[in-house]
Amino acid sequence: MKINWGTGIVIAFIAFITFILYFVVRMSTDNSANHDLVTEDYYKQELAYQKEIDASESALAMDAKLKIVKSEKGITIFFPKKFDYKKITGTVSLYRPSNKHLDLDFPLSLSKTHLLIPDNRLVDGRWDISVKWQYEENKFLFKERLTY
């Protein structure tokens, strides 16, 4: 049987549509391609973004930069020694972009000028660390991306 050019075009269209539909179905049913927002309360966080900018600027103005060090024990966050660690309050957020189930939030409770996040709570890969802390009446924010 001889195929004319009209039949060839129809077969090519059907093959192309089948090819596209295969990938659409595969990507919409695949669990590795999450279609969630980055965080559950994304829009609420966007409205509070100016407060974050102000806290970051006050940290720069008062020379309140934190230092993060990776070690075998975990991640250590060092606070400036000029501040009394007993008066520091706040929260530490560890955000994992690839898996929201690994995100960690916990309050700051310092017994020294540094905070250790143990190795057993961390999985290898990229972490976004956000430390919102307060000393007396001043609010500070420190953000850093870290590959553990």
pLDDT, tens digit (0-9, with 9 covering 90-100), for 98-116: 877 888 888 888 888 888 8
Same domain, 28 and 81: no
pLDDT of residue 38: 62
Q: Could you tell me if 71 and 132 lie in one domain? A: yes
Task: Give the whole-angstrom CA distance, residue 96 versus residue 91.
Answer: 16
Looking at the structure, tell me whether residues 103 and 59 fall in a common domain. Answer: yes
57 and 13 both lie in a single domain: no
Kindly state whether residues 90 and 29 are assigned to the same domain.
Answer: no
Indicate if the pLDDT at residue 3 is higher than 90. Answer: no
* Domain co-membership, 57 together with 27: no
Host domain of residue 14: 1-35
Q: From CA 63, how far away is CA 125, in angstroms rounded?
A: 29
For the chain, the farthest-separated pair of C-alpha atoms sits apart, in whole angstroms, at 90
Q: Are residues 130 and 85 in the same domain?
A: yes
Q: Give me the CATH number covering residue 99.
A: 2.60.40.10
C-alpha 120/C-alpha 91 separation (Å) is: 19
Same-domain pairing of 65 and 17: no
- Whether the model clears a pTM of 0.85, i.e. scores above it, the answer is no
Report how many domains make up the chain: 2
Q: Tell me the pLDDT tens digit for each residue of 46-85.
A: 777 787 888 888 877 777 788 888 888 888 888 888 888 8
Residue 77, judged by CB atoms within 10 A of its CB (0-12, 13-18, 19+), counts as buried
